A and B are shown apart, each in its own frame.
Chain A
Amino acid sequence: MMQIGVFEKPIFRNAGDRGFIIEFGQEIDPDINAKVRAMAAALNKNAPRGVIEIIPTYRSLLLIYDPLITRPEKLVSAIKGIENTLEKTDTESCKIVEIPVCYGGEFGPDIENVEKSANLCREDVVKLHSEPEYLIYMVGFTPGFPFLGGLNKKLFTPRLKTPRMAVPDGSVGIANNQTGMYPIESPGGWQIIGRTPLKLFAPRRKNPFLYKAGDKIKFIPITRKEYTSLRKKEEN
């Protein structure tokens, strides 16, 4: 049977001849994720020679190395050394990123599905969705796509039966127990409830992204008029 919850010691998993996974637990849980981010921060601050990338996930890290420069045993022992000194508070400073969202209308074609499924009126859906500060567990799938935790149970709504071929960039949606946003236009089956005027991924901007794993997202409801004026500002 599978071990669940948080592991006493991290498990190392081989991922080919250029990478391995350091797994801290077998659950989506803020404490396990904090350990992951603390390890990522420690490794980023003082990366052992030959490390190419460190990719934090919900409950593990994928470490990519150059086998022409280093040996995996060397990296594993360095990581075990760091692990012993790790404090949960060692994470990089996190920030709260406000994301303005225009809910409903043409930007949120599926908000009625959420209202029906939750048996709530529009105002309550918007209030419950924009109330929490959502933890970004990890980023991936498409550029800047945040995997968020903390959606109110009342808003859990199954995915669309037929996914859309193209969901516009900036769309904010719900899929089962998750909420998130589409930084680039991509296919998708999430229930789309609104859209942000912000460019969540701008490859030529000095910082192409507005947030990273460990930050928190706070949605701010805005009107259609505010959307238009903010969008204009973004495009300049």
Chain B
Amino acid sequence: MDAIKVLAPGGYTTTQDKGRFGYQHMGIPVSGALDYFAFALANLLVGNSENTAAMELTVMGPSLEIKKEMDIALTGANMGIRINENSVDQWRSIRVKPGDIVNIGQVQSGCRAYLAFSGGVNVPEIMGSFSTYVGGKIGGFKGRPLQKGDILETRDIPLLIKERIIPHKFIPVYPTHTVVRAIPGPQDDYFDAGIITLFQSEYIVTARADRMGYRLQGESIRIKDGMPESIISEPSMPGSIQIPPDQQPIILLVEQTVGGYAKIATIISSDLSVVAQATPGDTIRFKKIDLNTAHLLVIEEQNKINTIKKIFSNR
């Protein structure tokens, strides 16, 4: 049943879930929500399971006309949300009714926000996922970002009995100067002094920053003498820090499969949300971390999500 009419699409609004797994060997990148933590919480707020199709908003939010009674929630970047011109809070459930106009504004801090609808956005499942892969024109709503006039459906689930609010201590802040943690490799042996440079310098996010990758600008990172400028092409992980011949790092993200340059380090998965919330002009410092600590952080993040699930199920 029609649920949402797009009056204005915002900066770059796509449907995403956790991602499309199992097809990278065929050149299909994983896609999916860049800030998984904020995405998962938006879903939990409206009574969905953690991995349900929701909208990822970038820098500027959309204007939507609501056509069906639903619960919605906005998490992630602070964009501000108004229902019929009345401001409401993010990180909580909001009951909307047919005829309501939802306006989400310009980003104040962070870069990407997540808008979840009870039942989830109803788009066809393509190769096991609802995520939009814009480069391949597949998934999500017609394989592209939303446009003015699009009409989307949601699935039907019972509405919430009681409103839901994320406790304050779980709400992240999105500073303009950030630190992300990274593990050296896979090609850290291509570098010597370059590793020290990476972990001691500050890098600025350039305007060339999207779901494929973030190009950074700062201290040059040189490949050590005797090593080739490129590698035999191989796939990358989201968070790989690649060093191309111009010696300026690129953080590879989720709409990327094969690359041909050495990757000096890989950002830990729990800090990808920090990258997702960085905008052009923000700065990033890298901090070296070991694999065991990174795995403890993965468990810690999942525990946070599980705690929130428990809080909601007790009500």
Given contact pairs A16-B266, A58-B234, A139 touches B21 in the complex (Cβ within 8 A): no
Contact call B232/A59, Cβ cutoff below 8 A: yes
B99 within 8 A of A: no
B237 A184 Cβ-Cβ under 8 A: no
Contacts of A53 in B (CB 8 A): 21-22, 24-25
Partner pick for A140 among B27, B127, B135, B227, CB 8 A cutoff? B27
Chain B positions within 8 Å of A213 at CB level? 25
Q: Are A60 and B234 in contact (CB under 8 A)?
A: yes
> Is the beta-carbon distance between A203 and B138 smaller than 8 angstroms?
yes
Q: How far is the CA of A60 from the CA of B302 in the complex (A)?
A: 31
- Chain B interface: which of A64-72, A118-126, A158-166, A191-199? A64-72
Q: Are A142 and B136 closer than 8 Å at their CB atoms?
A: yes
Stretch at the interface among B111-119, B162-170, B179-187, B193-201: B179-187
Which chain A positions have C-beta within 8 A of B233?
57-58, 138, 140-141, 147
Q: Is the CB of A203 within 8 A of B127?
A: yes
Inter-chain contact B26/A209, CB cutoff 8 Å: yes
User: Which of A2, A15, A64 sits near B240, CB closer than 8 Å?
Assistant: A15
Chain B minimum-CB-distance residue to A208: B127
Interface mask (A1-44 → B, CB under 8 Å = 1, otherwise 0): 11000000000011111111100001110000000000010000
Nearest A-chain residue to B260, judged by Cβ:
A141
Q: How far is the CA of A53 from the CA of B29 in the complex (A)?
A: 12
Contact B126 A204 (CB under 8 A): yes
Chain B minimum-CB-distance residue to A27? B232
Q: Nearest chain-A residue to B138 (Cβ)?
A: A203
- Choose among A14, A18, A139 the residue that contacts B26 (Cβ–Cβ < 8 A): A139
A143 touches B239 (CB 8 A): no
Which residue of chain B has the shortest Cβ distance to A57 in the bound complex?
B234
The CA-CA distance from A204 to B128 in the complex, in Å, is 11
Say which residue of A1, A15, A58 sits within 8 Å of B186 (CB atoms).
A15
Residues of B18-39 whose CB lies within 8 A of A: 21-28
**How many residues on B have C-beta within 8 angstroms of the other chain's C-beta atoms?**
45
Query: What residue of chain A has the Cβ atom nearest to residue B289's Cβ?
Result: A17
Q: Least Cβ distance of B257 to chain A in Å?
A: 5
| Chain A residues within 8 Å of B26, by CB | 139-140, 143-144, 208-209, 212
A52 within 8 A of B: yes
**Cβ of A170 under 8 Å from chain B:** no
How many contacts A-B (CB < 8 Å)? Answer: 134
Cβ of A173 under 8 Å from chain B? no
CA distance A209 to B23 in the complex (A): 11
B62 to chain A, nearest CB (A): 26
A25 (CB) vs chain B CBs: closest residue: B232
* CA gap between A54 and B235 in the complex, in Å: 11
CA of A228 to CA of B28, assembled, Å: 29
By the criterion CB–CB under 8 Å, are A55 and B266 in contact?
no
A210 CB to nearest B CB, Å = 11
Task: Give the docked Cα–Cα distance between A57 and B234 (Å).
Answer: 6
Residues in chain A near residue B237, CB distance under 8 A: 15-16, 18-19, 62, 64
Q: Among the listed A1, A15, A139, A183, which residue makes an inter-chain contact with B185, where contact means beta carbons less than 8 Å apart? A: A15
**Nearest residue in B to A186 (C-beta to C-beta)?**
B135
**Shortest Cβ distance from residue B159 to the other chain A in the assembled complex, whole angstroms:** 31
In the assembled complex, the Cα of A16 lies from the Cα of B272 at a distance in Å of 11
Bound together, the chains give a CA A145 to CA B23 distance in angstroms of: 13
Residues of B close to A142: CB separation below 8 A: 27, 135-136, 257
Residues of A with C-beta under 8 A to B258: 57, 138, 140-141
Q: Which residue on A lies nearest to B258, using beta carbons?
A: A140
Q: Which residue of B has the minimal Cβ distance to A59? A: B232
Flag if B185 contacts A14 (CB, 8 Å). Answer: yes
Do residues B184 and A14 form an inter-chain contact, with CB atoms below 8 A?
A: yes
CB atoms of A141 and B27 under 8 A apart? yes
Q: Chain A contacts of B295 at CB under 8 A?
A: 17, 67, 71
Q: Of A15, A54, A59, A186, which is within 8 A of B266 by CB?
A: A15
Bound together, the chains give a CA A32 to CA B303 distance in angstroms of 42
Q: A57-B234, A68-B298 are in contact. Are A14 and B186 (CB under 8 A)?
A: yes
Task: Tell me the complex Cα distance, A208–B186, Å.
Answer: 31
Asked if A68 and B126 sit within 8 Å, CB to CB, the answer is: no
Q: Does B299 contact A (CB under 8 A)?
A: yes
Which chain B residues border A221 with CB–CB below 8 Å?
Answer: none
Q: Which of B23, B25, B268 contacts A16 (CB 8 A)?
A: B268
A-B contact pairs, 10 of them (CB 8 A): A14-B186, A16-B237, A16-B240, A17-B266, A19-B237, A52-B21, A142-B136, A145-B27, A184-B137, A204-B126
The 9 closest A-B pairs by CB, nearest first: A16-B266, A14-B185, A140-B258, A13-B186, A17-B294, A140-B27, A57-B234, A140-B257, A55-B25
Known: A140-B233, A186-B135. 17 other contacts (CB 8 A): A14-B183, A14-B266, A20-B186, A55-B235, A57-B233, A58-B232, A62-B237, A64-B237, A68-B299, A140-B26, A141-B257, A141-B258, A143-B138, A144-B26, A203-B126, A203-B138, A209-B26
